[in-house]
Structure 1
Amino acid sequence: MIALGGAIGAGLFVGSGVGIAAAGPGILVSYGLAGVLTTLVMRMLGEMSAARPVTGSFAEHARRAFGPWAGLLAGWMYWALLVVSVAAEAIGAGRIMTGWVPGVPVWAWVAVFMAVFTAGNLAGVRHFGELEFWFAGLKIAAICGFLALGAAVLAGLLPGHPSPGAAHLTGDGGFLPHGWHGVAVGLVAAVFAFGGLETVTIAAAECGDPARAVRAGVRAVVWRVSVFYLGSMAVIVALVPWNAPGVAEGPYAAVMERTGVAGAADVMRAVVLVALLSAMNANVYGSSRMLFALVGRGDAPRALGRVRGGVPYAAVLASAAFGFGSVVLSLLWPRTVFPFLLHSIGAAILLVWALVAASHLRLHGPSVRAVAALAGIGGVLVFMLGDPASRSQLLTTGAWAVGLLCWAGVRRWRSAPGTGPLPS
């Protein structure tokens, strides 16, 4: 449920509209390919984490495989990805609440959400898990209801709504209205939407039986998320034209409004709100544990490693503070600073996945899964480099990665014999 909470968020309910606008019905191919790539990566990550369940998960596996620089790179890139995601989700949730209660500004709602989830994470992993269980449960129930309603309309079982059949899949420009380039653009959006599943291997280290927990969690979550994502995309592109007004901004709401369900818009806004809050909760947890793991390896200030009652409270507060600081930046400079932060971590998940596959290749020997995953990730990166709309994200993320590698090199040089101790 923790993995579902981190993965089923804004990327599915909101961001999927961008992929549909780019690929049309071909978004099914995009999400199918992204699902295969995600499955390969998660299987490898689950295998390594079951064999060695530690806080920090893939960052520790990368460190074992390639040395301190790889652990530092994976850990800090994933931490940045999560805390910036927290800010984006908080802003989205705040805007929904302001639409319902216009008298309260966005920043006030964000402050309330951040305070609640920071307190929940400070209370301990059991309280966090309980809250995330109910959040994720509500989202799953909403998606199941959405899929059931869509299936009923497609079967012609809803009075007054004849089945559209395959009209929207083959009409409006065909199944691939923008060709394979559109499918590739949709694939990039789909890959980022699948990000967040890695949290299950981070949380497993705090379970009573971590090896069993991570095996069961990875097996269950991969196919469930794939069904939810692919099933949702199939319902959307089958029921409404991919280029209909409103689909790019809110595909789920567009479908609900087309079915004529009373109060559909408010229902979907409530579902999206729950999804955003759930993802916020999961990402505050994941970022704090990754930061705590970085402290344990000497890659972050020791002051952030303070623990109280079994909770790394300093890491929780630091991660939440960065997320809230990003929100403040977005309110002060909405067209410059925050978009820059989002672009900075745009390709971070691909870098993390590449390190997971490479670590598995190094620690467990050659495998078809590792080679296929690296080839798939490489293909996405090459496309992003050649696509003007995606190139800036890749280059900015690459610049941060180079900066982290330089920092790792300096740390190694400073800690070498004869150069004196490395200051914390």
Structure 2
Amino acid sequence: MAMIAMGSALGTGLFLGSGEAIGIAGPAVIISFALGSLIAATIALSMGEMASRHPVRGGFGTLAAHYLSPFWGYITRWLYWIVTVCVTGAELVACAAYLAYWVPAIPIWAGILIFAAVIIAINLSSVGSFGIVEFFLSSIKVIAVFAFILVGAVLVFFGLPDAPAPGLSRLTADGGFAPNGWAAVWIALSVVMFSFGGIELLSITAAEAKDPARSIRTAARTTIVRLAFFYVFCIGFVLCLVPWRTAAGSGEDVATSPFVMVFDQLGIPGAAHITNLLVLIAALSAANANLYAGSRMLHSLASDGLAPRFAAHTTAHRVPVVGIALSSAGLLGAALLAFSGVGGVFGYMMSLVVFAVILVWALILCTYIAFRRRGISGATFRMPGGVPTAIVGLIGLVAVFATIAVRPSMQVAAMVGVPAVLVAVVLYVAVARRRMDPADIEEAFAEAESMR
């Protein structure tokens, strides 16, 4: 379960998105990642506490419907389904770009279809098979990142015979530690938080875990620690080894990404190809995990009468085949937008995901506050600080959302996201409210109780 969440979070946010964040804040982006880790921790731990008590179908969406209102459960789940579709599309576009790095003759659309077929096949297998494959993909990614941290530490503090150790000098060499001012640390959070998208999977996977109480307790604690360690140290060593202005210009071109630059300094033949393989696996793993999340979220919506009932159909192995098909259909639009030639498409897609996922995270924390105020007992662990910690997390999310005032890409995301939320509200009032059966939500909680 921890590896599935890691699989979603360790993707293009680190390998492609970090360059943009570095360009905004310079070396001080390290603080942005540290702050982002703290905000993400409140979400992961609050979800872990609730899910260990209620390993319900639909995860945090069903919990929001139970503890807040059916309307907020509806909005939470539809918003998150949109997030998963957008993220999966972005990751597959990245996979196709990495494939084209080796075989330029293969067009982007063909690469997208190839990798789409791979992740759809994985998701159509049994839940156990999916977990094994995702564990394998995420393990490769985690081992690669850990190896990068070790190599980076050697290069930074000991160096090589033909490459003296730079130490921490590059962190202040070009304009100081915060060359664009301390406000840039705040602005960079609008990019950094994309990197933590995926921690929600801890809640969604609980309903299919063999021992949810124990699994959630372990996964919630370890996932956020690993992510914080990986992101802060990876970015820190990149900035120690590569001038920040050079790293900021990486964009989406794998040949000039900060990680390729670092490995090139080792003088290892084919370092760029090795890195290309690793970032491809990272993107494929994240796409795979997000398709899983989107299909399960759509299945829960259909089961509760908030989506067409046929989307609740599952195979003999309890795989939501219709949910997978519908979630996969959304990839086409995202892929077309990504390779249409419009400049900065990936950045806009990241901003749209951040806009939607911040709303989802805020509702998760609000659900947690309602959960704790009811005095529910039976959770296998509790988030340190409880409600006050959740309130701190909410304040952090509000601060990230406030970057909409200064970041054009976040403003574009709001122009798309706000109408989408309004359409969802209208559909709820006109259709979903009458179709919803509160007994379905209670049935999900009854199933969860039997699992415990």
Q: Same fold by TM-score, threshold 0.5 exceeded?
A: yes
Aligned to 1:311: 319
Partner of 1:244: helix, strand, or coil?
Answer: helix
Q: Which sits farther off after the overlay, 340-349 or 73-82?
A: 340-349
Distance 1:217 1:43, change over 3 A: same
Distance 1:339 1:5, change over 3 A: closer
Partner of 2:198: helix, strand, or coil?
Answer: coil
Question: Using the alignment, how far apart are the partners of 1:398 and 1:185 within structure 2?
Answer: 21
Aligned to 1:217: 219
Distance 1:335 1:360, change over 3 A: same
Distance 1:225 1:90, change over 3 A: same
The 5 Å alignment of 1:125-164 reads 125-164=127-166
Partner of 1:311: helix, strand, or coil?
Answer: coil
2:280 paired residue among 262, 270, 273: 273
Distance 1:334 1:356, change over 3 A: same
2:98 paired residue among 96, 99, 115: 96
**Are 1:347 and 2:316 an aligned pair?**
no
Indicate if the aligned counterparts of 1:343 and 1:397 stay in contact, CA closer than 8 A.
no
Q: Deviation at 1:321?
A: 1.9
TM-score after normalising by structure 1? 0.93
Q: Deviation at 1:13?
A: 1.0
Distance 1:304 1:358, change over 3 A: same
**Are 1:326 and 2:346 an aligned pair?**
no
Task: Give deviations 1:342-362, integer Å, cap 9, x for gaps.
Answer: 654441110011001111111
Distance 1:360 1:277, change over 3 A: same
Aligned to 1:37: 39
Q: Deviation at 1:223?
A: 0.2
Tell me which amino acid in the other structure corresponds to 1:397.
Answer: G
Task: Give deviations 1:384-417, integer Å, cap 9, x for gaps.
Answer: 234444222234322322221232222366569x
1:294 paired residue among 286, 292, 301: 301
The 5 Å alignment of 1:1-400 reads 1-244=3-246, 247-249=249-251, 250-309=257-316, 310-331=318-339, 334=342, 344-365=352-373, 367-400=387-420
Task: Give deviations 1:194-225, integer Å, cap 9, x for gaps.
Answer: 11111122112101111211111111111011
Instruction: Please list every run of 5 or more consecutive structure 1 residues that lacks an aligned counterpart in the other structure.
Output: 417-424
TM-score after normalising by structure 2? 0.87
Question: Using the alignment, how far apart are the partners of 1:246 and 1:410 within structure 2?
Answer: 47
Tell me which amino acid in the other structure corresponds to 2:328.
Answer: A
Indicate if the aligned counterparts of 1:10 and 1:89 stay in contact, CA closer than 8 A.
yes
Partner of 2:307: helix, strand, or coil?
Answer: coil
Distance 1:24 1:153, change over 3 A: same
Q: Deviation at 1:239?
A: 1.1
Indicate if the aligned counterparts of 2:352 and 2:410 stay in contact, CA closer than 8 A.
no
Question: Using the alignment, how far apart are the partners of 2:127 and 2:49 within structure 1?
Answer: 23
Distance 1:304 1:14, change over 3 A: same
Tell me which amino acid in the other structure corresponds to 1:213.
Answer: S
Tell me which amino acid in the other structure corresponds to 1:394.
Answer: A
C-alpha RMSD of the superposition: 2.1
Aligned residues: 416
- Quote the sequence identity (%): 33
Q: Deviation at 1:127?
A: 1.0
Question: Using the alignment, how far apart are the partners of 1:164 and 1:337 within structure 2?
Answer: 35
Q: Which sits farther off after the overlay, 3-12 or 380-389?
A: 380-389
Q: Deviation at 1:335?
A: 5.8
Task: Give deviations 1:238-297, integer Å, cap 9, x for gaps.
Answer: 111100267533121122223333222111111110100101110111110011011111
Indicate if the aligned counterparts of 2:8 and 2:198 stay in contact, CA closer than 8 A.
yes
Indicate if the aligned counterparts of 2:19 and 2:249 stay in contact, CA closer than 8 A.
yes
Question: Using the alignment, how far apart are the partners of 1:187 and 1:391 within structure 2?
Answer: 15
Tell me which amino acid in the other structure corresponds to 1:372.
Answer: V
Tell me which amino acid in the other structure corresponds to 1:380.
Answer: V
Question: Using the alignment, how far apart are the partners of 1:340 and 1:228 within structure 2?
Answer: 25
Distance 1:149 1:319, change over 3 A: same
